[in-house]
Amino acid sequence: MSESLGKKLLKSALETEDIELTCEECFDGLDAYVELLLEGMDPAEIMPMLKQHLNQCNCCTEEVKAMMVMLQDAAKDVQASSSPDG
Amino acid sequence: MERTNEEWLSDLRDDNPHQSKAIADLLKYLKRGVIAYLYTRSDLNRLAENELHQMSEDFAQEALLKIRANLDNFQGKSKFTTWAAKIAANHTISELRRAKWRDFSLDAITETGTSLQEILALPTGQGSNPAAESERRQVWEIITEVINTQLTDRQRQALVAVRVENVPISEVARLMDTNPNNIYKLLHDARLKLKRSLLTLDLDPDYILKLFS
């Protein structure tokens, strides 16, 4: 338990950047970020600072996961209604 | 329900004859998304189906109010429905967090003796070569020294709350009577102090991580 916690803290410290987005700045970009994810793109290449913030922030990561659940569920509706049998 | 972003923004305005339909469509969309998310929450497993649906109804309605109040803030960087889902997700998670952490006290961390220091004081690495063991010890000493002597009390308290107790940043902010951005900054400054001290060892960061794998 202690080494796992310590290792997570160590990793987090070593991956710290001098300038990082705030949670508010991250939130502003989450809708664009999630759409990139849903399109199968790598947002880390296009929005690296936001990706870096998510690596450091469980709160914002949780919101991304929630959005993915919500939007993937909505996409099922669209697929169902556009299928020949739907 | 398919509308362009412009149609959504227009139809949701008060003077638009399509407003009622737009609101109904958006609410249906939000409710579906919220209930899909609530189903993934293991902490809500004890709730009956009708309770979950009522919860999703409440959260979707509340999110809809926020969305309508902030239409002018939509910047068009995504689909309108994605932006709306973001607001609904944020609202739902915030409400659930507030309920979950309502009775938590930051003082309890000190009272029970649970602290980052105690956890980090436990032995590291076992049975590997002496050189690696020595380096591991140096890293551990630096982490402990920074936390004990270089962090401010607020930085230390935020670090323990978030990293050890897994309290969400938003809740730590509420408990410390500030906003999430300030808590993130406290943590960022703490991490920077740790990083800068660790780098004085002149070891590659990847190597440092491998020492503890």
Q: Which of A2, A4, A8, A10 should one mutate to test binding to chain B, selecting the residue with the greatest count of B CBs within 10 A?
A: A10
For B134, the token pair is 């020595």
How many angstroms separate the CA atoms of A12 and B212, rounded? 14
Residue A16 has pLDDT above 90, yes or no: yes
Closest CA relative to residue A64, chosen from B163, B89, B63, B162 = B89
Task: Kindly report, residue by residue over B36-51, the tens digit of the pLDDT.
Answer: 999 999 999 999 999 9
How many angstroms separate the CA atoms of A79 and B14, rounded? 32
Q: Is residue A1 part of a domain?
A: no
Neighboring chain B residues of A34 at a CB cutoff of 8 Å = 78, 82, 86
Which residue of chain B is at minimal alpha-carbon distance from A22?
B181
Angle at B90 between CA B86 and CA B93, to 5 degrees: 135
Q: Do residues B75 and B20 touch, judged by C-beta distance below 8 A?
A: no
Q: Is residue A11 part of a domain?
A: no
Determine contact: A8 vs chain B, CB below 8 A. Answer: yes
Q: Is residue A7 part of a domain?
A: no
Q: Is residue A10 part of a domain?
A: no
Question: pLDDT higher for A44 or B24?
Answer: B24
Q: Is residue A5 part of a domain?
A: no
**Number of structural domains found in chain A:** 1
Chain B: give the shortest CA distance to residue A6, in Å: 6
CATH for the stretch B107-210 = 1.10.10.10
Locate CATH 1.10.1740 in chain B: 5-100
B199 — alpha (psi -120 to 50), left (phi > 0) or beta? alpha
Residue B172 has pLDDT above 60, yes or no: yes
**Within 13 Å, how many C-alpha atoms sit on residue B40's CB side?**
17
Closest CA relative to residue B9, chosen from B63, B83, B86 = B83
Determine contact: A68 vs chain B, CB below 8 A. Answer: no
**What's the pTM value of the predicted model, to 2 decimals?**
0.89
Chain A: give the shortest CA distance to residue B53, in Å: 15
Whether B77 sits inside 8 A of A32 (CB atoms) is yes
Highest mean pLDDT among A70-79, B98-107, B153-162: B153-162
How many angstroms separate the CA atoms of B36 and B59, rounded? 13
Neighboring chain A residues of B82 at a CB cutoff of 8 Å = 31, 34-35, 67, 71
Residue B64 has pLDDT above 70, yes or no: yes
* B147 Cβ contact list (under 8 Å, min separation 6): B116, B117, B120, B156, B159, B194
CB pairs under 8 A between A and B: 133
Task: Kindly report, residue by residue over B80-135, the tens digit of the pLDDT.
Answer: 999 999 999 999 999 999 998 888 888 766 555 456 665 565 445 555 688 888 88
Determine contact: A18 vs chain B, CB below 8 A. Answer: yes
Which residue of chain B is at minimal alpha-carbon distance from A20?
B188
Domain boundaries, position A71: 21-82
Query: What pLDDT sits at residue A3?
Result: 53
Residue with tokens 């309508």: B68
* DSSP states along chain B: ----HHHHHHHTSTT-TTHHHHHHHHHHHHHHHHHHHHHT-GGGTTS-HHHHHHHHHHHHHHHHHHHHHTGGG--SSS-HHHHHHHHHHHHHHHHHHHHHTTT--THHHHHTT--HHHHHTS----SS-HHHHHHHHHHHHHHHHIIIIIS-HHHHHHHIIIIIS---HHHHHHHTTS-HHHHHHHHHHHHHHHHHHHHTT---HHHHHHTT-
Helix (H, G, I), strand (E, B) or coil at A22: coil
Q: Is residue A46 part of a domain?
A: yes
Query: What pLDDT sits at residue A71?
Result: 95
Q: Let me know if domain B5-100 sits in CATH 1.20.144.
A: no
Chain B: give the shortest CA distance to residue A60, in Å: 9
Q: Is residue A3 part of a domain?
A: no
Residue B61 has pLDDT above 70, yes or no: yes
Chain A: give the shortest CA distance to residue B118, in Å: 9
Q: Is residue A55 part of a domain?
A: yes
* B142 Cβ contact list (under 8 Å, min separation 6): B194, B197, B198, B200, B201
Helix (H, G, I), strand (E, B) or coil at A14: helix
Highest mean pLDDT among A22-31, B130-139, B144-153: A22-31
Counting every residue written for chain A, the total comes to 86
The shortest CB-CB distance from A67 to any of B89, B163, B166 is to B89
DSSP A16: -
